[in-house]
Amino acid sequence: MNKPEASPRLTVLLGVLIALPALGTDLFVPALPVLAQALGVEVGAAQFTLTTYFIGLAAGMLLWGPLSDRYGRKPVLCAGLVTMLAASLSAACVDSAGAVAGARFVQGLAMSSGAVIARTVVRDLHAHEQAARLLSAMMMVFSIVPIAAPLAGAALAGEVGWRAIFWAFAAMAALLAAATLAVLHETAPVKRSSMHPAAIARSFGRMLAERRFVAPLLLVLCAHMGILAWVSSSAFVLVRGFEVSTGGYGLAFAAVMLGQIAGAWTSRRLVLRLGIAWLLRLGAALMLAGGAAAAALAWSGVAHWAAVVAPFLLFLFGTALIVPNATAAALSPFPGSAGAAASLMGAIGFTLGALISSALGALFDGTARPMASVAAFAGAAAFLLHRILLHGRA
């Protein structure tokens, strides 16, 4: 039986926690040029601090879920946040790019705990439509990060220096740990899972063999593919390709992300009335329409910012219907091992994201065609997967 709806305080806390991995890049990236200059290193050495962060995230995605299934959500999350605090303080005090890269690895490992355990807590509290409603509310909080964090990071790095970014991360870790102690009650089942590697591997294997997990997971991956195409390539397309000013790009990026916020709000309002299946169908159709429009405009040679922003606004509106509802559908069959299920979803999604970002970086040709083509493929795949695997089943 579903428990009472989460309080606004818990919803905001979970929304911030689920945004931690994105915050670790969006707040930090504006400081990279300042860091490179201050430490006297090449751009590649500074960018390596992003690589180590991503490696830490990937490792952490597989770690925190099984740990929380065994030892409980609250103590494991607190351990992750304390580790984030220590890594951030360490990064703020070192004097070499190599030491910063090492601290960033630990920071990534730690910050992945927020995303994994936040999704796990949702499954502990709710299933099906009520879980999707809470995830939609969390996504509204999450969507603020890509808009606000780069602006805050640029201001801190420019006015105070690159170390200020890590002091900010440390302050966030301390505040989130305090909020976790005050707001989050233990939600893990009384019966705890084994931490033996063989048991964890068997659990992952069962999930990957379960159609009710794999089908919605594939939809989530399609949505993430299109979102990451926008996040990783839009600056190059609009600023370098279309010669949009930096300020204009900020407005364009915010407009598209507002589409995601609007979609999450719509999902939260409608999911209890219309159900997960209906919203997944609508989300897949909107992704298809947005991706196809973006690709058609790009390949026909339309080089105007509106030809990118409008289709991607529609596309991200669709993804905001897909992600919370498909995530709820994927986690619902696993009440006793929600942590492992959330870890597996995160690890697979992160690996796909790294591959997409790398591929788009290599394929950039000064136009919107590579980015739009990925969105078109993701929209078509989401639409077909829903029709084949999930029609009438969600």
- pLDDT-wise least confident of 136-145, 175-184, 218-227, 360-369: 360-369
pLDDT in tens, 257-268: 899 999 999 999
Residue 355: its pLDDT value, please? 77
Intra-chain end-to-end CA distance of the chain, in Å: 18
Query: Longest Cα pair distance anywhere in the chain, in angstroms?
Result: 59
The pLDDT, as a whole number, for residue 4 is: 67
The pLDDT, as a whole number, for residue 3 is 62
CA nearest to 259, candidates 323, 320, 326: 320
Q: What is the DSSP letter of 349?
A: H
Distance CA 23, CA 228 (A): 14
CATH number of 211-394: 1.20.1250.20
Nearest 10 degrees: CA dihedral of 133, 384, 352, 131? 10
Contacts of 234 (CB under 8 A, 6+ apart): 249, 252, 253, 256, 308, 312, 371
> For residue 23, which of 111, 84, 121 has the smallest C-alpha distance?
111
Task: Say whether pLDDT at 175 is over 80.
Answer: yes
Is 7-192's fold the same as 211-394's? Answer: yes
- CATH class as words, domain 7-192: mainly alpha
Model confidence over 6-65: pLDDT tens digits?
788 999 999 999 999 989 988 887 787 788 888 888 866 777 887 788 889 888 988 898
Our CA dihedral for 33, 39, 44, 46, rounded to 10 degrees, sits at -60
* Residue range 91-99: mean pLDDT, rounded: 92
- Residue that the structure tokens 């947005």 belong to: 290
Amino acid 242: pLDDT: 87
For 76-85, 138-147, 299-308, 346-355, which range has the lowest pLDDT when averaged over its residues?
Answer: 346-355
pLDDT bracket for residue 394 (50, 70, 90): very low
* Residue 118 predicted with pLDDT over 90: yes
What pLDDT sits at residue 1? 47
Give the pLDDT of residue 297: 96
Average pLDDT on 269-291 reads 94
Q: What pLDDT is attached to residue 235? A: 74
- Domain coordinates of the chain in residue numbers? 7-192, 211-394
The contacts of residue 295 (CB under 8 Å, 6+ apart) are 369, 372, 373, 375, 376
* Distance in angstroms (rounded) separating the CA atoms of residues 390 and 394: 6
Q: How far apart are alpha carbons 146 and 176 in whole angstroms?
A: 19
Whose tokens are 């992160």? That residue is 350
Q: Residue 291 to residues 103, 186, 203, 245: CA-CA distances in angstroms?
A: 38, 41, 35, 25
Q: Look at residue 236 in the predicted model and tell me its pLDDT.
A: 74
Q: Rounded to an integer, what distance in angstroms lies between the CA atom of residue 38 and that of residue 162?
A: 8
**Residue 246 in this model has a pLDDT that exceeds 60:** yes
Encode 125-151: b = buried (16+ Cβ within 10 Å), e = exposed. bbbbbbbbbbbbbbbbbbbebbbebbe
Q: List, in order, residues 6 or more apart from 11 with CB less than 8 Å away.
A: 134, 137, 138, 141
Window from 38-42, 219-223, 309-313, 318-322 with minimum mean pLDDT = 38-42
Is the pLDDT at 239 greater than 80? The verdict is no
Distance of CA 178 to the CA centre of its chain: 23
Average pLDDT value for the chain: 88
Instruction: Please say if the pLDDT value at position 314 is more than 70.
Output: yes
Q: What percent of the chain has pLDDT over 70?
A: 95
| 86 and 161 Cβ atoms separated by less than 8 Å | no
Helices (H), the chain: 8-18, 20-26, 32-39, 43-71, 73-93, 97-125, 128-142, 145-159, 163-183, 197-208, 211-235, 246-274, 276-299, 306-331, 338-363, 369-385
| Radius of gyration from C-alpha coordinates of the chain | 20
Question: pTM above 0.75?
Answer: yes
Give DSSP secondary structure letters for 246-305.
HHHHHHHHHHHHHHHHHHHHHHHHHHHHH-HHHHHHHHHHHHHHHHHHHHHHHHTT---T
Range with lowest mean pLDDT among 31-35, 111-115, 313-317, 390-394 = 390-394
Task: Kindly report, residue by residue over 291-309, the tens digit of the pLDDT.
Answer: 999 999 999 999 899 999 9
Which of 125-129, 163-167, 310-314 has the weakest average pLDDT? 125-129
